[in-house]
Amino acid sequence: MTEEIIIAGFGGQGVLSMGKIMIHSAVMQDLEVSWMPSYGPEMRGGTANVTVIVSTERISSPILRQFDTAIILNQQSLDKFEGSVKQGGTLIYDTNGITRHPERKDISVYSIDAVEEAGKMNNPKIFNMIVLGGYLKIKPIIKTENVVKGLQESLPERYHHLIPLNQQAIERGMEIIRKVSES
């Protein structure tokens, strides 16, 4: 099993953190992982993205142009990465602020209103965890219990009291993700 993922959105949305939590969780299942961020100007505002690879095999190239799954959190990233999803692959996007929706017919498209849901849950910061939950519903490569362990590993201890809230967000994400079209 190899899953090659791009997560892309605005800097500050928790794009890089979401990837970090994924790899920390995957390591709990003895999987091989790599996490390759965009760095530099993107981090100083504008778009941010990270390539995450999770595999049962040793990982060769950490840098890719084609992905099994794209998790898209803003319009710029949709424009940039819609074409990079492999044929038959998966695209998950948050509809918030999207004016041009995905057009490809050869991939499976899912939407998740995570920004809106995070607002309802009174905590915009858990937005990325709602998205992660949605992703794990579609691609259950990592068990939720391992994500909780991954959170324990990747979050500083002073934030550990927020883990139950994050878990709730993941579960909510699993409930609200919906299919737009299938390849």
Partner 1 sequence: MERELRLMKGNEAVAEAAIRAGADGYFGYPITPQSEILEYLMGANPMETTGMVVLQAESEVAAINMVYGGAGCGKKVMTSSSSPGISLKQEGITYIAGSELPCLIVNVVRGGPGLGTIQPAQSDYFQAVKGGGHGDYHLIVLAPASVQEMADFVDLGFELAFKYRNPVMMLSDGAIGQMMEKVWLSPQKERSKTVPEWATTGKPPTRERNIITSLELNPDNQEKFNQKLVEKYNRIRENEVRFEEFQCSDADYLLVAYGTSARICQKSVQLARGEGLKVGLLRPITLFPFPSKRLSELAEKVSLMISVEMSAGQMVEDVLLSVNGKVPVYHYGRMGGIVPTPDEVVAFLKSKIIGG
- Can you give the binding site for partner 1, defined by CB under 8 A? 20, 23-24, 27, 32-37, 39-41, 59-65, 153-154
Other CB atoms within 10 Å distance of the CB of residue 126? 25
Question: How far from chain centre, in Å, is Cα 23?
Answer: 11
Nearer to partner 1, 65 or 120 (CB): 65
Nearer to partner 1, 150 or 173 (CB): 150
SS3 84: helix
Amino acid letter, residue 81:
F
Supply the minimum distance, in Å, between the C-beta of residue 61 and partner 1. 4
Question: How far from chain centre, in Å, is Cα 78?
Answer: 13
Supply the minimum distance, in Å, between the C-beta of residue 98 and partner 1. 28
Supply the minimum distance, in Å, between the C-beta of residue 69 and partner 1. 18
Amino acid letter, residue 103:
E
Nearer to partner 1, 70 or 112 (CB): 70
Nearer to partner 1, 31 or 169 (CB): 31
SS3 131: helix
Structure tokens that stand for 103 in this block:
């057009």
